[in-house]
Structure 1
Amino acid sequence: MLKIRPFDPKEDYERVVEINNLIWPLKLTVTELEQQDHNRDSEMFFKRFVAIRENSLVGFALVRDPWEFTNKNYYSIKISVHPDHRNKGIGGALYKQLLKSLGGLKVDTIMAETYEDKDEAIDFLRNRGFKESIRLPRSILELSKFNDNQFKDDLEKVKETKIKIITVKELATIDKNWEENLWRVHVECMKDVPSTVELFEMPLEQYKRNVLEQMDLNYWVVARDGKKIVGLSILWKDEAEPNKMYTSLTGVIKNYRRKKIATAMKVRLLQEAKREPEIEYIETENEENNPMFQLNLRLGFQRQPAKIGFKKKISK
């Protein structure tokens, strides 16, 4: 008999993380998931459910009001079923529970995502009226194969412009307003990230708490023209896979583009990562028409199955 119940933080974290890591490319640790739950804005709608069969947790699902979107009445869902328990109606039961939990709320659009090599998940969403809205190819770089000598001319071109590439750790020692200045550039660069929704501008204090305090500032570089920050690029470590790092964002403000600044920042970060003997891979994802995707391929990243975003319109 199948039972759907609310997630229990006292006993469900380990099994939920185990199932997540069996299915999805982005791995988690229990500590990371607990931290995500702790940092979540309690005023934002969020529900997580688990599926129990024969006293075993075999799947989980969540629905949330994404803080990062400004679109009203948009909700995001995620459904994960253990590979050994597929095609038994568990995903459908979890989906029905998510819809039930939205009862009484005004819902305009439901969003979901999966990957292009997850045929069952794609069929599951399409059979329930979801339509593809965006495609974000993943790519992975094997660090041992990265050769920064290939980019000497690009780095020299940036050097000639007097642009300096430094870590945010260094920035914090020379700019007393570094947090606010970095936040302003981050917000500006995020406006150019391809998306099917309008992204929310995170307030400064929330940015300090949810971004700056969570990142290793040695793996975050900025490009400076004098005292002005004109670009940024970020790597973050994966606790679940210590041999891997992920890119978060690389961006350059408009008047400074096409000057090889993005290339110089990425090369600097890859040089830093290469000094860490345990780091073997860097993973990223970009919208397929984003110039940053082509830059990553030039750096040696190899394309992987793309993430696919789906939408389902609920109200007219």
Structure 2
Amino acid sequence: MNIRTFDPLRDYPAIVAIYNANFPGFQESENEFRFGDDYREEKHHFARVVAEDDSGLLVGYGQSGHDSHSFHPTQFQVDVFVAPEQQAKGYGKMLFDQVLADLVPLQPTTLRTHTVEGTERALRFLTDRGFREEMSYAESWLEVNAFDASRFAGAEERVLEQGIRLITLRELGDTDADVLQRFYEFTQIIQADIPSPEPFTPLPYEVWAKRFEHTGYLPQANFLALDGETLVGLSTLWGRDADDHLQTGATGIARSHRRRGIALALKLRALAFAKERGAPIIRTNNEVNNEGMLSINRALGFVEQPGWVGFVRELTSGERAHSE
């Protein structure tokens, strides 16, 4: 067994294959992995190590990093993944111990991680290491061709009658600097209202704007609601490299304009886009207590899948003193 630092020039294909083997319902591409690694402030910690067997085959990896959306200097996201056929051989323990050892200089106080419901070996691994369940997210999929828009006849019209405009980012001006600045500012407001274990921290514009480099960025699938010239709602879709599904990025409405049918109208626009595009599935996920958005998704026909379970481990003062 050998642990070494992750090499971005040669290791991406192997770690993507390991991740996808562990989560077959949540396939990711190499491009999406690279984007996720880069979508953070440079000052935020991120580190990855890999494990090799005696022949030099990469069989697992571990990583740690600050949460860019809920930054705290001593709180970290940690993850360990081992190829299924190589599990129960000690690689996971070795990787986990190395990830924690590498964090020692940063004096960690809280560790967070996640896995998918039903992954019993992963659940045991985490509970054996002092993690407890914290915040979970319901994963829901909708079969686009099975959606019957006639059930929602008049929903968009009722929103338009309130003087609300429904428009895409492309139509509003996806290359206009002022439009993008307004869009950025509104997304940060919406993100702040999304349930999270820790308070939201806005991304700097230059980090947030990296989204426009994502291969799945679709300005024509960023659906916006405006009251006059003021952004009051959004619902976004992203393309996926790993399959032809569409992923919901975020749906949110300004607090001043909630309970007026705007979120449903935006979702209907997104569904119409998906049908025109020929996408078979729209995916979304929501914190399990976010009943407002979950109820809209259920009404539209989204069906819950195995979701993500969040875990947290708070290090004791003794553990911190030992690590220092």
Q: State the TM-score bracket (shorter-chain normalisation).
A: over 0.9
Check the 8 A contact 1:51/1:60 in 2, yes or no. yes
Map 1:70-149 to 2 at 5 A: 70-149=71-150
Work out the CA distance in 1 between the residues paired with 2:46 and 2:175: 40
**Equivalent position of 1:239 in the other structure:** 241
Partners of 1:160 and 1:40 in 2: CA distance = 41
2:16 aligns to what?
17
For residue 186 of structure 1, report the CA deviation from its aligned partner.
1.0
- 2:284 alignment partner, SS class: strand
1:271 aligns with 2:265: no
Is contact 1:107-1:315 (8 Å) kept?
no
CA contact (8 A) 1:76 1:110 kept: yes
- The alpha carbon displacement at 1:175 in A equals 7.1
CA distance in 2, matches of 1:7, 1:80: 13
Return the offset for 1:174: 11
Deviates further, 33-42 or 45-54: 33-42
Q: Could you tell me which amino acid in structure 1 is paired with residue 43 of structure 2?
A: E
The amino acid of 2:19's aligned partner reads N
The one-letter amino acid of 1:197's match is E
Find 2:228's aligned residue among 217, 226, 229.
Answer: 226
Corresponding position: 1:303 with 2:304: yes
Instruction: Tell me the residue number matched to 1:4.
Output: 3
Uncovered stretches (5+) of structure 1, i.e. residues with no partner: none
Cα-to-partner distance string for 1:162-214 (whole Å, 9 max, x where unaligned):
21111000111797621121122111111210111112111223322x23443
Distance in 1 between the 2:289 and 2:42 partners?
A: 36
Q: Distance in 1 between matches of 2:198 and 2:139?
A: 20
Using structure 1 for the length normalisation, give the TM-score. Answer: 0.94
* SS in structure 1 at match of 2:297: helix
Is the CA contact 2:39–2:208 (under 8 Å) kept in the aligned structure 1? Answer: no
Provide the C-alpha distance between the structure 2 equivalents of 1:305 and 1:19, rounded to a whole number of angstroms: 19
Partner of 1:45: 45
Flag the 1:19–1:98 CA change in 2: closer, same or farther, 3 A: same
Q: In the TM superposition, what whole-angstrom CA distance separates every residue of 1:56-79 from its partner, at most 9, and x where no partner exists?
A: 111111111222213331010111
Q: Which moved more, 1:174-183 or 1:293-302?
A: 174-183
1:314 aligned partner? 315
What is the CA–CA distance in structure 1 between the aligned matches of 2:30 and 2:276, rounded to whole Å? 28
Separation of aligned partners in 2, 1:90 and 1:182: 44
- Shift, 1:263, TM fit: 0.4
Residue type of the alignment partner of 2:51? A
Contact 1:51 1:58 (8 Å CA) reproduced = yes
Tell me if 1:289 matches 2:299.
Answer: no
Counterpart Cα distance in 2 of 1:286 and 1:39: 21
AA aligned to 1:219 is: A
User: Residues 165 and 213 from structure 1, CA distance in 2 versus in 1: closer, same or farther, beyond 3 angstroms?
Assistant: farther
- TM-score, normalisation: structure 2: 0.92
- Alignment partner of 1:47: what SS? strand
Q: Which moved more, 1:35-44 or 1:124-133?
A: 35-44
- State the 1:43 CA deviation: 2.6
For 1:12 and 1:286, the matched residues in 2 are separated by 32
CA distance in 2, matches of 1:213, 1:261: 29
Match of 2:321 in 1: none
Q: Describe the superposition over 1:123-157 as per-residue Cα deviations: whole angstroms up to 9, x where unpaired.
A: 11111001111111101111111111111132222
Contact 2:235/2:251 (CA < 8 Å) preserved in 1? yes
Length, aligned pairs only: 312
- Per-residue CA deviation, residues 2-53 of structure 1 (Å, 9 max, x unaligned), is 1111112222111111111111243222233234444543332111111111
User: Larger deviation: 32-41 or 267-276?
Assistant: 32-41
Distance 1:256 1:38, change over 3 A: closer
Match of 1:30 in 2: 30
Equivalents in 2 of 1:212, 1:182: separation in Å? 12
**Alignment partners' CA distance in 2, 1:36 and 1:188:** 22
- Structure 2, gaps ≥5 residues long: 318-324
Give the RMSD, CA atoms, in angstroms.
1.7
Residue 66 of structure 1 aligns to which amino acid in structure 2? D
Measure the CA separation in 1 of the matches of 2:153 and 2:193: 28
> Contact 2:236–2:248 (CA<8 Å) still a contact in 1?
yes
SS at match of 1:286: strand
Per-residue Cα deviation, 1:55-106 (whole angstroms, up to 9, x for no partner)? 2111111111222213331010111111111111111111001011112221
Measured in 2, the distance between the counterparts of 1:6 and 1:173 equals: 39
CA distance, structure 1, for counterparts of residue 92 and residue 274 of structure 2? 39
Distance in 2 between residues matched to 1:129 and 1:112, nearest whole Å: 12
